[in-house]
Chains A and B, each alone.
Chain A
Amino acid sequence: MALLPLLFTLTLAIALGAGAAVVRRSPPSAESTVAAARRHAALTSALAQTLGLVAGLGTATNQALSTGRAGQLGIAVLLAPVVYGVVHTAVLAVGELTWPRPLGAVRRARLARRGLLDAAPRRLLLPAAVTGVVAALVVVVGGALASPDGRSFTYTVGDGGPGAVSQSASPFPGWFYGRPAAMGLLAVIGLALVALWLVANRPAVVTADTRIEEVLRRASAHRVLRGALTALLVDAGGLLFISGQAMPDIGPSWLGPVSVALMVTGALTVLSAAVVCCLPAPRIPADSPAVAVG
C-alpha cells in the first residue's frame, strides 16, 4: 500500500513526459558538431532516466518483498527516489565527462568564465534550495518530536500521572526514517553539485551560433537539477504527509487543521515531483541562415 503513491507519481510522470516529448521538439541542427552534441545529450538523458527508474523501482520492490524489521517498507519508499536521484545524476555526470571533444587543427574558445551555477535554470534552482531546506526542517523537527523508537509520535494529555491519556501513531518521520532520508538526500545534493561543476567545465560545442552552446549547457544543468529536485520533492513530500497522518485525535483543536495542512502539502509536493520530472529542457534554437552545413 505504501508503494501506491510512488507508483501513481511514476505513472503520472511517464504520461506527462511522453506528452511533453511529443509537443515540444527542437528543430534539427545542420552543424555536425551541434548534431553530435545533441545526440550525446539525448542518449545520456534517456539512459539516465531509464537506469534511474529501474534502480529506484528495483530498490523499492526488493525492500518491499523482503521480510525484515518493522518500518522497512517506509524506508524503501524513502530510498527509492534517493536511488533514482543518485543513479540518474551519476549517469548524467558520466555523460558530461564523455561529452564530445573539439576536433580539427584550429580550435576556438570564448574567453568567458563559467561559474558553477551560471547555467543552472533559476526555475529549478530556487525550488531545489527551498525543498532542501524544507526536507532538513522536517527531518530535524520530526527527529526532535518523535518517540524514542524514532518512528512514532506520542501525544499525552495530562502530567503523565494517573488519569493521563496518551495516544501514539506510527509511522512518524523520526530519526528512524529521517536519518536514511537525510543521508540519501545529502548524497543526491552532493552528486548534483559535482555534476553541475562538470557541466560548467565540459568542452564548449563548436558552433557559429553562440546561443546554441549556451542552451546546450543550460539543458545539461536543467537535466541534473530536474532529477535531483524530483528526488528531493518525493522524499520531502512523503515525510510531510506521514507527519500529518500521525497527528493525534486527542490533542488541542488546532492539531486537526495542522494535520490536514501537512497531508495536503505533502501530497501536493509529491505530485509536483511528477511535473518537475517532465519539465522539458530548454529548446535548441533553429539554425541561423548563415550557418554552413557541416
Chain B
Amino acid sequence: MTPDLTVDLTSPTPPFEQIRSQIAGYVRAGVLAGGARLPTMRALAADLGVAIGTVAHAYAELETAGLVTRRRRTGTVVVARPAVADAMEAAAVHRSASQLVAQSRAAGMDGDTLLAVVRAALSMQPPDQLLPPPGGRRPPGAQPGM
C-alpha cells in the first residue's frame, strides 16, 4: 500500500516539517521499507502545490536524520532500519535517554534545546557509525550511560 501525505497550509507547523514528520513516521513504523524510493522533489512539490525548496528542505532533514539517502541514479531512497539487537540493548538506550533528559533539566535546558543538541550530535555521526561493530555491543566512542 502506498501511503498518503497531507499538508495543511493553515497549520502553524511549516509545510516542510509536516512533510518531514510524516515521512519519518512512515519509515519508523515500517510502512516505508528500506529501499523504497520516494517521489522526486519536483513531483511531490507539484502534487502538494508547494515550492520545490520546501520538499528539498524536508528531504535534507530526513537525510540528516539518517532515514533516507540520495543516490545518483535512483533518487531518494529509504535507508534500511537496523534492527535493535535485543530488548536489553533497547532498554539501555531508553535508560540513557531518561538520564540525558534529567541531566538537561538539571542544567536548565528546555526540550527544544535538548532536541537540537541531539540532532546536532546525530548529524555529526553518519548513520553507519551508529551501527554496532560486528560482535560488539556498543559503538566505538560511545559514552557509558549515554
Chain B residues, CB < 8 A from A111: 2-5, 23, 26, 32, 38-39, 44
Instruction: Please state if B46 and A106 are interface contacts (CB–CB under 8 Å).
Output: no
A114 to B2, CA, bound (A): 12
Residues 102-118 (chain A) with a chain B CB within 8 angstroms: 102-103, 105-114
Q: Mark A7-41, 1 if CB is under 8 A from B, else 0.
A: 00000000000000000000000000000000000
Instruction: Please state if A110 and B5 are interface contacts (CB–CB under 8 Å).
Output: yes
Chain A residues, CB < 8 A from B37: 113
Chain B residues, CB < 8 A from A191: none
Stretch of B6-14, B105-113, B115-123 with 4 or more beta carbons under 8 angstroms from chain A: B6-14
Instruction: Please state if A107 and B40 are interface contacts (CB–CB under 8 Å).
Output: no
Q: Does A200 contact B (CB under 8 A)?
A: yes
B15 → A minimal CB distance (Å): 9
Chain B residues, CB < 8 A from A202: 46
A203 to B40, CA, bound (A): 12
Query: Residue on B with the closest CB to A206?
Result: B47
Query: Residue on A with the closest CB to B15?
Result: A107
Q: Does B65 contact A (CB under 8 A)?
A: no
Q: A113-B37, A114-B39, A114-B43 are in contact. Are A106 and B6 (CB under 8 A)?
A: yes
B31 → A minimal CB distance (Å): 9
A204 to B42, CA, bound (A): 12
Interface of B is mostly: mixed
Instruction: Please state if B49 and A203 are interface contacts (CB–CB under 8 Å).
Output: yes
Q: Does B30 contact A (CB under 8 A)?
A: no
Q: Mark A191-210, 1 if CB is under 8 A from B, else 0.
A: 00000000011111000000
A55 → B minimal CB distance (Å): 29
Instruction: Please state if A107 and B39 are interface contacts (CB–CB under 8 Å).
Output: no
Instruction: Please state if B4 and A203 are interface contacts (CB–CB under 8 Å).
Output: no
B128 → A minimal CB distance (Å): 24
A5 to B40, CA, bound (A): 45
A111 to B23, CA, bound (A): 9
Q: Does A211 contact B (CB under 8 A)?
A: no
A177 to B134, CA, bound (A): 67
A135 → B minimal CB distance (Å): 29
A212 → B minimal CB distance (Å): 15
A106 to B10, CA, bound (A): 8
18 interchain pairs, CB-CB under 8 A: A102-B49, A105-B9, A107-B7, A107-B47, A108-B6, A108-B7, A109-B4, A109-B5, A109-B7, A109-B39, A109-B44, A109-B47, A110-B47, A111-B38, A112-B2, A112-B39, A201-B43, A203-B49
Given A108-B6, A113-B38, A200-B43, 4 new contacts (CB under 8 A) = A105-B10, A111-B5, A113-B37, A114-B40
